[in-house]
Structure 1
Amino acid sequence: MLSNIDTKEVAATSTGKLVTVNVVVTGKRTTDGGLLSNVGLDQLHDSVTDLKGKSLLLELVSTELEPRTGLEKMPIKGYAKRSSKEGENVKYQGEFKIPWSFGDVGAVLVENEHHKEIFLHNIVLTTVSGSPITIACNSWVHAKSDNPEKRIFFTNKSYLPSQTPSGLKRLREKELENLRGNGEGERKSFERIYDYDKYNDLGNPDSSQELARPVLGGEKLPYPRRCRTGRPKTKKDALSEKRSSDIYVPRDEQFSQVKSAEFTSVTVSSALNVLLPLIKGVLVDTSLGFPSFEAINSLFDQGMPIPTLEQHQPLLESAVSTVANVVTCGGADLLHFDTPELIQRDSFAWAKDEEFARQTLAGINPFGIQLVTDQEWPLKSKLDPEIYGPPESAITTELVQREIKGIMTTDEALQRKKLFILDYHDLLLPYVNKVREIEGTTLYGSRTLFFLKQDDTLKPIAIELTRPPSKDKPQWKQVFTPSTVDATNSWLWKLAKAHVLAHDSGYHELVSHWLRTHCSIEPYIIASNRQLSAMHPIYRLLQPHFRYTMEINALAREALINAGGIIEVSFSTAKYSMELSSVAYDKLWRFDKQGLPADLVSRGMAVEDPTAEYGLKLTIEDYPFASDGLLLWTALKQWVSDYVNHYYQDVSLIESDQELQAWWTEVRTKGHEDKKDEPWWPVLKTPGDLIEILTTIIWVASGHHAAVNFGQYEYGGYFPNRPTIARINMPNEDLSGQQLQDFLKNPESTLLQCYPSQIQATLVMAILVVLSTHSSDEEYLGGEMESSWAEDPVIKVAYEKFNERMKEIEGIIDARNKDTNLKNRTGAAVVPYQLLKPFSKPGLTGMGIPNSTSI
């Protein structure tokens, strides 16, 4: 530190024993990347400011108090002037004279004299003979004209609250007060204020009553909280917030310019592929399906011709205005999608029962499958029979025994843990009649039963679809089984699978993906910034795992999960999709089940076994997501343990850490307020408690999200493999209807009608490309070390060990994908399971675990 300076240097200084400290600030001035970003009066003013040498006013703050008065020492003030500029990067330098008695520098206050914000990478303080101090900023500093409050940047040394140097205590508290705000007014784009609000901005009642949506959050529809924006309420609904295209997120949570540019670029290139179907839909029929499988394949094989743009420019501008000019300038004649790897390897993989079953263990939603226990047999609904009809499942003991062809009895299958289920019956059934009132979609409650074979692969043996009673119809339920003999039953089985896949796609996107990662993480981010100081070691551990999450969540509220957004337009549950997500949160979400081991045990996919590797024995040994995930979970927990145990060597420090306790209290009582009284919340009294909580949060943000996100195009890009919507009822639901007659004449046509329309399919395909793509500035789990960790020798060694383990895990996963005994991840035309390989190059790779839920 700067107090540890050679006495010869002191003697060499001028009278008064002053030490010369050189300060170099590295930053970036560009904020919007537009053509006009460097012109205008603001730019002229900023240039004059730079010429005067008064670009940034810095104040160096001591860690010590004045020994005579017990007050803070006066900070050393001075300007840093611009010394060099290379592209967007700018360096500012200043020279400060510091008294020998000043002590260590613990913080730097920064006042930005420009009229525009500036991004600071770091501040480096050096003396002639002393070691440099690097302060990692990585933050936007507002212009003084926007906010006169100085920004506070602490050194990279981490302190628990009780260990805070006396000279920094007030600043530590002040910075947290600034970040909390006062809960009033509309937030401005340059602000860094974190506060809570309900999901009251998904609807747009002022535009149309059809776009009105209920508020998510509260007793009626429990939900996690989002970041407060303070926008005014709508005119027609005093509980709903007005929508806008520019949604506030705290300034440092926004995408970097690299991420923003690449996100826009990928969106544009993907949306190009939507243009022609969209135009044809507008001109002809928005519900138009694909006439044949050849037409579906042509999206990948031949491409689609673009109509004369000039003739349809108004349609282009209203439908996809963001890409119309790109089309005009590009002059391309054909648009086509890349063929997903699944279809490259086997063009009929999507139709095979074996692949349907394999993907429950190694696909994009490995969180749905669960064990059927003898206590749960026979299957029975928990819903009110007075409303939803008889609760008994039509999947009987006799039916199961027939389908497993006498290999064992049903009781033996239950005892030997051979029966597994995708159970969306009780979750979906209350919405069936509501959804069926919407044109172009339908819904059932569903159960899909699987049998575990000797080679650890699953065989689907039954699908049950249920329609509850309505005003004029009784309950209808039917079981469908695979058939290789009866043509009618074989086609009915294909249609039943299409319905189940649509249910699984909805559950995946609304629950496994959005709810359990994006949505549930945002409260952790808000609480961390409001209650944990930037110098708190736990804040510094968590911060990399929150990168970009709030920004991508805001974008989701803008275009994906909003009323009339992509989810509502393209998924079976339509306008009830987010309401269904709330029901799943209410009935299914528990923090103590979000960690991988607890999740597996809760679904019966593993049992605790102290003698087994990782302390768990998998029910299905060849469960690629679980077996790879446990490698990662164990390595991650070891890293978190090493980190926590270094800072909390005394157990009592956990309960006495007021910031830590306030953080965990706020996560429960504010961020997840609707579940604040649940008894399952973990207590926070010991380092072990903290390790489990932190490992769970980091796992959800990294491993869990990677498993459900980066394979979306690989498995959903060819939509017959994972349709997002089933548009027509099963033909045998109404035995006297025309649909049954049409089905018997042309079952393939009926299946195509069930699939998404051309607009729905291509829209989802384009979005899946975006969501499955890594940006070039991606930061991966176990990748580059944070500067604050590198400066602590113990933490540095621990992280290097974690990094090496991540590299080892990559090799283990590669070896598993070559093991011919593991049939759920290797074999002829089988897509290897790579979603939990830690690292990746940029682009659409189907692997790589970012630190955070960043897309």
Structure 2
Amino acid sequence: MCLRLMMMFNKLVERFTGQNQIGELTDDQMGVRRKIKGSVVLMKKNVLDFNDIHASLMDRVHELLGKGVSLQLISADNGDPENGLQGRLGTAAFLEEWITTIAPLTANETSFKVTFDHEEAIGVPGAFIIKNSHHSEFYLKSVTLEDVPGHGRIHFICNSWIYPAHRYKYDRIFFANKAYLPCNTPETLRKYREEELVNLRGNGSAELKEWDRVYDYAYYNDLGDPDKGRDYERAVLGGSTDYPYPRRGRTGRAPTKNDPKSESRLPLLSLDIYVPRDERFGHIKMSDFLAYALKSLVQILIPELKALSDSTPNEFDTFQDVLNLYEGGIQLPDVPTLNTVRNAIPLHMLKELIRTDGEQILKFPMPQVLQEDKSAWRTDEEFGREMLAGVNPVCINCLQEFPPTSKLDPKVYGNQNSSITEKHIKKNLGGLTIEKAIKNKKLFILDHHDTLMRYLTRINTTTTKTYASRTLLCLKPDGTLKPIAIELSLPHPDGDQHGAVSKVFTPPEHEQEHGIESSVWQLAKAYAAVNDSGVHQLISHWLNTHAVIEPFVIATNRQLSVLHPIHKLLHPHFRDTMNINALARQILINAGGVLERTVFPAKFAMEMSAVVYKDWVLPDQALPADLIKRGMAVPDSNHPNGLRLVIEDYPYAVDGLEIWWAIETWVRDYCSSYYPTDDSVRGDSELQSWWTEIRTEGHGDKKDEAWWPKMHTRAELTQTCTIIIWVASALHAAVNFGQYPYAGFLPNRPTVSRQFMPEPGTAEYAELESNPDTAFLKTITAQFQTLLGVSLIEILSRHSSDEVYLGQRDTPEWTADQEPLDAFGRFRTKLVEIENKILEMNEDKRWRNRVGPVKVPYTLLYPNTSDYTRVGGLTGRGIPNSVSI
């Protein structure tokens, strides 16, 4: 009906104007002046986030009334003496054929023509002003000018939402896609460049609205909800020595009633938290992401779902019950409660939770760790392999001393050193002494003791019952790791100052044994995995990628013009980061959110990550530096790039170093195109302001640290940008997209333990002896925590169907500068070589850690550069450019 009205409206326009398009003039009317033809590619509002036919109709009314979309060219050659020598402005030109162009109801781009009078005073355009006098906003993708006299083709990359002009107190300006350092910018464009940055910084006041284009900083003071009661109070993260934290994007919402230091929250299910409009997900990504919000609704439906379960509503009775999540789903009877579930969520989302036959709920894809062998995850070899090639391969260390020691203050925590002795591990050292095993770098440790011990007393006052763990492993001749001891520690019952109470568990003599020793050992591995799951989610994943990158996103937009070469270099690596982090604060890491419900530190999770942030150091985020610090690599001039891995078959490090060096080479070549000397780095005013703001504002709690690079040399610039790109792309891919393949099966990566190790002589020990699987399942993550947790990581592990991968750009014309384009081509070629090398290594039987007992090839650092199809889903491969999910 609405389309029919539009067509009738168009015919009326034709009858009364005698032309097919508003603004079309005859050749006689135009005279003989030469014209510059242009094309404008945009997406109308009604085909993007909203099915808003009303907006489209109103825009046509505005067009008919003469309120169209105009573009005004700005000269890069000639200044206007009456306007401070800013570039001369051309005559405004209007988009043509808006009324008669009917945009499709599916997401699509629409191209419009625009014709400019060629005015000699304009010369070569370097920018343009766009004014939207319509009713609604639209997404401006690009503008291209053809046959500009004296120049030829000029392309403008825009990728920005243009709201009606009354929403702005300034002109919307876009620059041609050529990069300039501030000192090299044409004089005619400098003031426009400077004013645009001022606009993006805002004034630091008032609540920000969707059309505001403001990048500003705030503390993490929006996680708690003190107005709901004490259970929802959370510490402010950032701005203190106790809880330092990277800054997040400011929203300007009012404080809560009960705590003026805390920011008020949006309603639980609202996803409309402020981020600058251009940082929000695109229409395809948002459509994909709606499933994420839906899965989180499970926490609301828990009471209804519990009533539908069996006689043990919060337990998996057998491993087959767990497998049924993937093989058959949970069967729902036709009872009134089912109608409650159906009515609790919107109809168009229902299919994501309840299948079309209405009989199965929460059926998940089979995780890769189960696809080839449903029991191989239990093996010691797989347990060790996942520390090198699993979802958290960034925490294992080469053991430097025995027994392991603690760095916790003994005046506060007493003796926290390890209680593992030579007697515990000697039989598994292959005839080596401990001294020789350490000297030959054969002993390794996964040590979460200090991180967790500070919080363990408080954590264990909840339903969680867990330990602080240390896991020792020995490198076998075949290159695999064998776990040889697991130490589980609790705070002393008389107080932390009395030290730790620890127990050490060792593997049975024969792994195939099925007696009580084997059952106890499986539980010990589960407790260690619980620790590793929490550290992975809070530290390796959230803190060290999502949280630390956001200040770089904000500072780049505030201090580096879109004309700046470093802005052009880094911008693809910031795509969607502010949006995903904002959504995480709303429904994932907030008080009572999904993470607190599914990961063992619960309400102390984010506070604990702030304590760990105290030790965060930017240079250590470089992969070579990280590997050396963990003892997993040593400098060696006889090896490529001067680094030798201690474990040759360490898939994360092997593939990661290839990616790291490729990024570093690309960044060095790119930066050399614009910075011929170190002096040019020091003399770049925007770059120096950017670097100062990152240190003093974005990561302001660490501004006094001496380890920050000074940003005085090309080497420091190259290293810093390489780290930023590595963290945002490859590091995030390595710790994120393996979540569902490995942790989608919770017994392999449990996130919570609900009871302590059974003691001999107790009923729990007797059950472990007689029915070890039931005892195991009663110890780890409960049934409904599992449903919620698996729902979450299924979404987090999916690639969006519009993903842009490392070595790809969303447009081939991202710069007009040829030397950077050539360097980027070499980068792409290198990444394709790395892809082929990864596939070859995964087929090579010598590298047992690349596939392992579960037969899951290591592809988390497979770039996916050569795949142009951009197929989303649970692929377990591909390095997106940015922290985008």
Q: Which residue of 1 is the match for residue 504 of structure 2?
A: 479
Among 531, 538, 541, which residue is 1:503 paired with?
A: 531
Alignment partner, residue 415 of structure 1: 439
Q: Which moved more, 1:388-397 or 1:773-782?
A: 388-397
> What residue is the counterpart of 1:231 in the other structure?
253
1:550: which partner in 2?
A: 578
Matched ranges for 1:387-406 at <5 A: 387-405=412-430
- Identify the residue that residue 229 of structure 2 maps to in structure 1: 208
Query: Which of 320, 323, 328 pairs up with 1:297?
Result: 323
Q: Please list every run of 5 or more consecutive structure 2 residues that lacks an aligned counterpart in the other structure.
A: 1-26
Mapping 1:330-729, distance limit 5 Å? 330-335=356-361, 336-373=363-400, 376-405=401-430, 407-439=431-463, 441-471=464-494, 475-483=500-508, 484=510, 487-587=515-615, 589-729=616-756
1:89 Cα shift? Answer: 3.2
Structure 1: distance between partners of 2:262 and 2:164: 32
CA–CA distance in 2 between the matches of 1:596 and 1:113? Answer: 50
Deviation at 1:172, TM superposition (A): 0.6
Q: C-alpha separation between the residues in 2 aligned to 1:670 and 1:657?
A: 19
Aligned to 2:128: 108
Do the aligned partners of 2:696 and 2:703 also contact (CA within 8 Å) in 1? yes
Structure 1 residue 33, shift from structure 2 partner: 4.8
Distance 1:438 1:123 in 2: 58
1:845 aligns with 875
> 1:232-311 residue pairs with structure 2 within 5 A?
232-244=254-266, 245=270, 246-265=272-291, 268=294, 279-281=304-306, 288-308=314-334, 310-311=336-337
Partners of 1:486 and 1:792 in 2: CA distance: 66
Alpha-carbon distance change, 560 to 274 in structure 1, aligned in 2, over 3 angstroms: closer
Rounded to whole Å, the distance in 2 between the matches of 1:288 and 1:368 is 32
For residue 486 of structure 2, give the secondary structure of its aligned residue in structure 1. Answer: strand
Report the counterpart of residue 71 of structure 1 in structure 2: 85
CA shift, 1:74, in A, is 3.5
Q: Is the 8 A contact 1:443 1:573 kept in 2?
A: no
SS of structure 2 residue aligned to 1:420? strand
CA deviation map 1:173-206 (0-9, x unaligned):
1000000001000000111100000000111111
- TM norm structure 2: 0.90
Answer yes or no: is 1:21 the counterpart of 2:41. Answer: no
Give the aligned residue type for 1:25: V
Residues 417-438 of structure 1: CA distance to partner in whole angstroms, max 9, x if unpaired? 1110010001101111101111
| Deviation at residue 471 of structure 1 after TM alignment | 4.1
CA apart distance, 1:599: 0.9
Q: Do the aligned partners of 2:546 and 2:577 also contact (CA within 8 Å) in 1? A: yes
Taking the aligned partners of 1:15 and 1:757, their CA distance within structure 2 comes to 75
What is the distance in 2 between the residues matched to 1:112 and 1:209? 48
Secondary structure at the residue paired with 2:471? strand
Distance, in Å, in 2 between the alignment partners of 1:154 and 1:565 is: 42
1:151 pairs with 2:172: yes
What residue number does 1:90 align with? 110
Is 1:48 the counterpart of 2:69? The answer is: no
Q: Distance in 1 between matches of 2:826 and 2:504?
A: 52
SS for the counterpart of 1:659 is: helix
Check the 8 A contact 1:78/1:94 in 2, yes or no. no
| Rounded Cα–Cα distance in structure 1 between residues aligned with 2:165 and 2:790 | 45
Cα pair 1:53 1:81 within 8 Å, conserved: no
- 1:159: how far off? 0.4
Match of 2:73 among 60, 63, 72: 60
Contact 2:459 2:604 in 1 (8 A): yes
Which SS does the other structure have where 2:775 is aligned?
helix
Cα separation, partners in 2 of 1:482 and 1:319, compared to 1, 3 Å: farther
Match for 1:186: what amino acid?
A: E
Give 1:321 shift.
Answer: 8.8
CA contact (8 A) 2:385 2:852 kept: no
Distance 1:486-1:339 versus aligned 2 partners, 3 A rule:
closer
Q: 2-side partners of 1:148 and 1:537: how far apart?
A: 28
The structural deviation recorded for 1:146 is 2.1
Q: CA deviation at 1:303?
A: 2.2
The offset of 1:281, in angstroms, is 2.1
Q: Residue 415 and residue 621 in structure 1: after superposition, are their counterparts in 2 closer, same or farther (change >3 A)? A: same
Per the alignment, in what secondary structure is the counterpart of residue 64 of structure 1? strand
Q: String of CA shifts for 1:372-400, please: whole Å, max 9, x gaps.
A: 11xx3321222233543423311113322
2 CA distance for matches of 1:553 and 1:18? 52
Distance 1:257 1:486, change over 3 A: closer
Call closer, same or farther: CA 1:388–1:265 in 2, change over 3 Å.
closer
Tell me the CA shift for residue 145 of structure 1: 2.7
Amino acid at match of 1:532: L
In structure 2, relative to structure 1, the CA distance for the partners of 1:394 and 1:326 (3 Å cut) is: closer
Is this contact kept in 1: 2:44–2:103, CA < 8 A? no
Deviation at 1:71, TM superposition (A): 2.2
- Unaligned runs of 5+ residues in structure 1 are 1-11
- 1:414 and 1:325 map into 2 onto residues whose CA distance is 55
1:807 alignment partner in structure 2: 832
Residue type at the aligned position of 2:589: I
SS of the residue aligned with 2:848?
Answer: coil
Counterparts of 1:631 and 1:516, CA distance in 2: 21
> Which secondary structure state, in structure 2, belongs to the residue aligned with residue 422 of structure 1?
strand
Figure out how many residues of one structure are paired with residues of the other and give that number: 834
Seen in structure 2, the aligned counterparts of structure 1 residues 326 and 685 have a Cα distance that, compared at 3 Å, is closer
Where 2:290 maps in the other structure, the secondary structure is helix
Letter of the 1:185 partner, please give it. Answer: A
Residue type at the aligned position of 1:308? D
1:518 Cα deviation after fit: 0.6
**Matching of residue 160 in structure 1 with residue 181 in structure 2:** yes
Native 8 Å contact 2:308 2:332 kept in 1: no
- Secondary structure, aligned partner of 1:101: coil
Offset, 1:126: 2.3
The alignment yields a C-alpha RMSD, in angstroms, of: 2.6
Provide the C-alpha distance between the structure 2 equivalents of 1:581 and 1:476, rounded to a whole number of angstroms: 24
Deviates more, 1:98-107 or 1:528-537: 98-107
1:688 corresponds to which letter in structure 2?
A
Paired with 1:276 and 1:138, the residues of 2 have a C-alpha distance of: 39
Q: CA deviation at 1:80?
A: 1.7
The answer to whether the Cα contact below 8 Å between 1:222 and 1:583 also exists between their aligned partners in 2 is: yes
